[in-house]
């Protein structure tokens, strides 16, 4: 599936960026470390969205979208979502200043060795949380969160047709859930 392949490509790019952060730090490119750390975080979280089959928006911090779709997230990410969201927001705030600067903010003068080490730590932490999820998806081919197939069933008579959704299990469980969709425009009811 294209989304899975693209998610794995994002993981490869994040892996390279993690290594590049250390090189940039050694070269004292502290503002470049800040920018690349943000991009590493961004592509990691977008890889998760791709694995879940969620359309990836053209924004730099997708943590709000992850929160909105928390029911689809695998448990390890749910358990760390507050931390991942915080790290993503923090890195996003410095993205443009680290790259473009401003008349009163010269990136090569403003970011310190300590700033660089801190954002490397943030990127590595996000990588530690997210990369195993994407790797498991790539190895098993299973959806990492929840996916659904909607079936039309006649319950008692042709006039009382209801839709039922068979929701497959998350990667960490094997028990499917069943949801009744009383009206496709109204949220589902878990049974």
Give the residue extent of every domain in the chain: 2-140, 148-190
Q: What is the pLDDT of residues 127-136, one digit of tens each?
A: 999 999 999 8
Side-chain half-sphere exposure of 131, counting CA atoms within 13 A? 16
**Distance (Å, rounded) from C-alpha 84 to C-alpha 49?**
14
* Domain 2-140, CATH homologous superfamily name and number: Nucleotidyltransferases  domain 2 (1.20.120.330)
To the nearest whole percent, how much of the chain has pLDDT over 70? 71
What letter does residue 174 receive in the DSSP assignment? -
Q: What is the mean pLDDT of residues 38-58?
A: 92
What strands lie across the sheet with 189-190, from one edge to the other?
A: 148-154, 161-167, 177-181, 189-190
CA 175 to chain centroid, in Å, comes to 24
**121-177 pLDDT tens trace:** 999 999 999 999 999 875 544 444 433 333 333 333 344 334 434 343 333 333 344
| Alpha-carbon distance values, 122 to 38, 58, 87, 131 (Å) | 9, 22, 6, 14
Q: Measured between alpha carbons, how far is 65 from 23 in angstroms, rounded to an integer?
A: 32
3-state helix, strand, coil in the chain (%, to 5): 60, 10, 25
Task: Give the C-alpha separation, 49 to 145, whole Å.
Answer: 10
Pair of tokens at residue 168: 């497959």
Q: What is the pLDDT of residues 102-117, one digit of tens each?
A: 899 999 999 999 999 9
Q: Is the dihedral of CA 155, 158, 162, 164 positive or negative?
A: positive
pLDDT classification of 81: cutoffs 50, 70, 90:
very high
How many whole angstroms separate alpha carbon 46 and alpha carbon 60?
9
Averaged confidence pLDDT in the chain: 77
| Cα radius of gyration rounded to whole Å, the chain | 20
Q: Tell me the C-alpha distance between 167 and 52, whole Å.
A: 13
């Amino acid at each position: 599936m294209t989304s899975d392949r693209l998610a794995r490509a994002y993981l490869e790019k994040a892996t390279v960026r993690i290594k590049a952060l250390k090189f940039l730090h050694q070269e004292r490119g502290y503002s470049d470390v800040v920018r690349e750390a943000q991009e590493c975080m961004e592509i990691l979280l977008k890889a998760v969205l791709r694995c879940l089959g969620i359309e990836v928006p053209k924004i730099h911090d997708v943590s709000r979208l992850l929160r909105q779709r928390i029911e689809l997230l695998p448990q390890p990410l749910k358990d760390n979502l507050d931390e991942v969201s915080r790290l993503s927001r923090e890195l996003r705030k410095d993205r443009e200043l680290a790259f473009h600067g401003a008349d009163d903010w010269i990136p090569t003068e403003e970011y310190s060795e300590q700033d660089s080490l801190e954002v490397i730590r943030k990127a590595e932490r996000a990588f530690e949380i997210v990369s195993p999820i994407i790797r498991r998806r790539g190895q098993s081919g299973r959806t990492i969160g929840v996916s659904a197939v909607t079936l039309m069933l006649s319950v008692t008579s042709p006039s009382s047709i209801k839709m039922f959704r068979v929701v497959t299990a998350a990667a960490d469980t094997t028990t499917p859930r069943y949801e009744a969709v009383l009206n496709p425009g109204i949220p589902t009811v878990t049974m």
